[in-house]
Amino acid sequence: MAEGYDAQAIERKWQARWREEGAYEVDNDDPRPPFYCLCMYPYPSGSAHQGHVRNYTFGDLIVRQRTMAGHAVLSPMGFDSFGLPAENAAIKTGAHPRPFTDGRIAQLKASIERLGAMYDWRREVRSHDPEYIRWTQWIFLRLLEAGLAYRDRAAVNWCPGCQTVLANEQVLADGTCDRSGDVVTKRDLEQWFFRITAYADQLLDDLDELDWPERVKVMQRNWIGRSEGAEFDLPVEGRPDLALRVFTTRPDTSFGMTYAVVAPEHPIVPELTTDERREAVDAFVARVRTETEVERQSAEGPLEKRGVFTGAHVRNPFNGEPVPVYLADYVLMGYGTGAIMAVPGEDQRDWDFAKAYDLPIIRTVQPPEGWEGEAYTGDGPAVNSQWLDGLHKDEAVARATEWLEEKGLGRRTVNYRLRDWLLSRQRFWGCPIPIVYCGEHGAVPVPEDQLPVLAPDDVEFRPTGESPLKFHEGFLASACPTCGQPATRETDTMDTFVDSSWYFLRFTDPWNREVPFDPAMAARWLPVDQYIGGIEHAILHLMYARFFTKALSDLGVAPKDLREPFSRLFTQGMIRMGGTKMSKSKGNLVDPADYFDTVGADALRLFHLFVGPPADDVDWTEQTDEVIDGCARFLARVWRLSTGEVPAGTGDGGRDLRQATHRLVARVSDDYDRWSYNTAVAACMEFTNLLYKAVAAGAAGEDLDFAIDTLLSLMAPMTPHITAELWERRHGDDARVHAQPWPQADPALVATTTETMVVQINGKVRDRIEVPADVGEAEMERLALESERVRAALDGRTPARVVARPPKLVNLVVEG
RNA sequence: GCGGGCGUGGCGGAACGGCAGACGCGCCGGGUUUAGGUCCCGGUCCCGAGAGGGGUGUGGGUUCGACUCCCACCGCCCGCACCA
């Protein structure tokens, strides 16, 4: 009698063996067809949590299954190791973030290993490694050369208490600093940007070809926010030298313009403002400047206080009428031209503002019957619009735009919501921006042979949150690469999204010391065949990585034809507890180690696969531990079956085993392809139940062995340890289930010789009859009409129509 | 407000226009066991003794046939939100 299933011992044994054997290390010249499977590299926050377990269980399943199916699978792992939590810990303790981070990485790696998820650790990258920093900086300099990185003034979040700039994420919902509680204000500072807007159209258009979840694509489309419209000038009354340029998506409504609005920050404001209005305008502008972003964007507060008349008038070029110019905080300097023509009849914000300021409202699109009291933004015939009258929206827009272009007054334009990527962070624990500032030559790139620029170790963290780089003389003092005169280093570091925008490329060639990666190696593996991660990265990370890939491709750093990094994306559901996301900050983590130490990693993996569709959120409830126990129970059943501990009865039970086995292969393979892991697990459970009955009925020998071996092969990607152990026990010390070829279903055996034909009358099931699989329609009808139950239900009536769908269903349609 | 998604037993879920509720959790019963646990077997949508009838958020439609497709409504979740 073999001993029982000891998950602890087995998992330890196989994890050690896989490590020794270098399992899942893959070389770039591997002759098998390549497959790149990647899980989003984690921020090292300590031990793995259930979100990691879920992510890496899916990834490992694919890695192992594709390997069995004959692919050379690239399965790398690394760490997104720069970031704020390590710096905050440093500020608290005074210790350097590096040992803190390295410790966290060691913890996370250890728990990933206990999950049994396999990676080619030779390829590991860490954002904070000097070699990785070198190439991140090198890429920054290439983008700078190409004009895709630039420096500009930008309004940033400023905390007066901390005397530092904050990232948007550090500003709480009430507009205060998450550290000091001070009210955050806006400040103009010189910052570095990436020109992602240069790729707006490509980023939008190329989404169509990606095999990504529709909702992620929609989010990206909305984020890019392309809108087509027209720009034109409104001449300022009494100022022949001055015109106000506006952008609109509805040039067809121009005859309804009853005023114009300019953003308070617009440079034209001082010029426009008349002397008698200057005091009021200045007061308004000053107030808006001190307002927080949150205040300004909230729709609260009386509209009367949110705008001011400038005293100026502009002329509507469509009808020559003068209209007043206002400032209002609902018009943003950062979008379009920072000025609009206001058409209250067809825009609700303009309507509300017009009501508050008692401005006229002229409808230029005929609203439906009974429409009143608000703007009408739908389609309808143009009215009050001279030569546009009667035209519907699309045609009127086109005609109005043509008119503007013919008269040389304006042009068709496209605007984007997407802004350039502000990458400067006033932080220590990030990749330094490789720039020095010279009094004579300004911002000068650090020469390539001086990379990487590394932050010093002997730094003092201040409780104010300011970067210690700003006070480190040894770091600050430099020489201008152009003239050799004393110069000062840039103390800002890069947004950590820069690091994660190219790590998947580095994985293909992590040993390269000449360039970030050899384009030929990248071409071999990329695009990533399967990328897996959380929905929270739907916009920023995935957009930035796409931008980097396109830009690096255009610069010749990445392969020319590599236009997208991730051809297939899967976003897993969140783990929730009590209705909120399970997370460290909420303190509702359920530690995977508790399960590694008890039921084992295989049972926990199986739970994550079985609990529901991978894309759905998982609710961690009181029932969850019982379900996990059920998964462990199932594995113990497989153990007993495979080690011959199920007592055999007598009789003939092995009759259909071979056929059932082939059907299982077809079903599980299909489920794997469709990401339907919960049903793949169910199929294996069902099959195991069947085998128990077969054994009890006397099944033995070749067909049973084939059934069990096939089950183990199919489960090997899901529960690698127990299947490896059982395979070794059944086939000898050198036998490896994960080296087996992926089982193939024999179509002849999957097909059945008989089927259960369902007989319906008017769509209701009346009988089930066993028929040959190749039964014809006429035969089906004959068999159906012969059935006792059908005759009883028909009660003498004759079907008016017979719908036969061989071989599974026949529907008899009777009147009445 | 705009966009996307989802509503199926006590619970997680299954069903690619054709047998609603696979598989599992829980619960009920039986067997093994000194006992408990483990393990094995059976049952478990509702009404009905049964034959049968009803049932996938609500209402309508398409179809021989709808959980599935279409329309309207109700409810929940997610994303964006003064973007002109």
Q: Is A606:A630 a contact under the CB 8 Å cutoff?
A: no
Taking the CA atoms of A561, A564, A565 and A568 in sequence, report the sign of the dihedral they define: negative
Neighbours of A612 (CB within 10 A): 14
The count of C-alpha atoms lying within 13 angstroms of the C-alpha of A678, restricted to the half-sphere facing its C-beta, is 10
Q: Is the CB of A263 under 7 A from strand B?
A: yes
Q: Measure, in angstroms, how far nucleotide B78 C1' is from residue A204 CA.
A: 22
In this prediction, residue A172 carries a pLDDT of 65
Q: State the Cα–Cα distance between residues A641 and A606, nearest whole angstrom.
A: 18
Q: Measure, in angstroms, how far nucleotide B64 C1' is from residue A673 CA.
A: 34
Taking the C1' atom of every nucleotide in all shown strands and the CA of A222, the nearest one is: B80
Q: How far apart are the first and last CA of chain A?
A: 66
Q: State the Cα–Cα distance between residues A38 and A500, nearest whole angstrom.
A: 13
Q: State the Cα–Cα distance between residues A33 and A77, nearest whole angstrom.
A: 21
In this prediction, residue A653 carries a pLDDT of 55
Task: List strand B contacts in A 591-620 (CB < 7 A).
Answer: 610-613, 616, 619
- Could you write out the DSSP letters of every residue in A257-270? --EEEE-TT-TTHH
In this prediction, residue A297 carries a pLDDT of 53
Q: State the Cα–Cα distance between residues A224 and A215, nearest whole angstrom.
A: 14
Question: Which helix (DSSP H) or strand (DSSP E) does residue A245 occupy?
Answer: strand A243-248
In this prediction, residue A630 carries a pLDDT of 95
Q: Measure, in angstroms, how far nucleotide B19 C1' is from residue A767 CA.
A: 10
Taking the C1' atom of every nucleotide in all shown strands and the CA of A765, the nearest one is: B19
In this prediction, residue A299 carries a pLDDT of 46
In this prediction, residue A782 carries a pLDDT of 87
Task: List strand B contacts in A 368-427 (CB < 7 A).
Answer: 415, 417
In this prediction, residue A179 carries a pLDDT of 67
Q: Is the CB of A237 under 7 A from strand B?
A: no
Let me know if A528 is exposed, middle or buried by CB neighbors in 10 A (0-12, 13-18, 19+). Answer: buried
Task: List strand B contacts in A 523-582 (CB < 7 A).
Answer: 535, 539
In this prediction, residue A89 carries a pLDDT of 87
Q: Is the CB of A226 under 7 A from strand B?
A: no
- Could you write out the DSSP letters of every residue in A260-319? EEE-TT-TTHHHH--GGGHHHHHHHHHHHHHS-HHHHH---S-GGGGEEEEEEEEE-TTT
Taking the C1' atom of every nucleotide in all shown strands and the CA of A340, the nearest one is: B84
Taking the C1' atom of every nucleotide in all shown strands and the CA of A293, the nearest one is: B82
Q: Is the CB of A816 under 7 A from strand B?
A: no
Q: Measure, in angstroms, how far nucleotide B60 C1' is from residue A799 CA.
A: 28
Question: Would you say the ipTM is above 0.90?
Answer: yes
- Could you write out the DSSP letters of every residue in A575-605? EEETTEE--TTTT----HHHHHTTT-HHHHH
Write phi, then psi, for A685 (nearest 5 degrees): -65, -45
Taking the C1' atom of every nucleotide in all shown strands and the CA of A230, the nearest one is: B84
In this prediction, residue A1 carries a pLDDT of 40
Query: Residues of chain A whose pLDDT is less than 50?
Result: 1, 299-300
Q: Which bases of chain B are under 7 A from a protein CB atom? A: 3-5, 10-16, 18-20, 22-26, 38-42, 52-54, 64-66, 78-84
Q: What is the DSSP letter of A211?
A: B
Q: Is the CB of A794 under 7 A from strand B?
A: no
Taking the C1' atom of every nucleotide in all shown strands and the CA of A299, the nearest one is: B82
Q: Is the CB of A777 under 7 A from strand B?
A: no
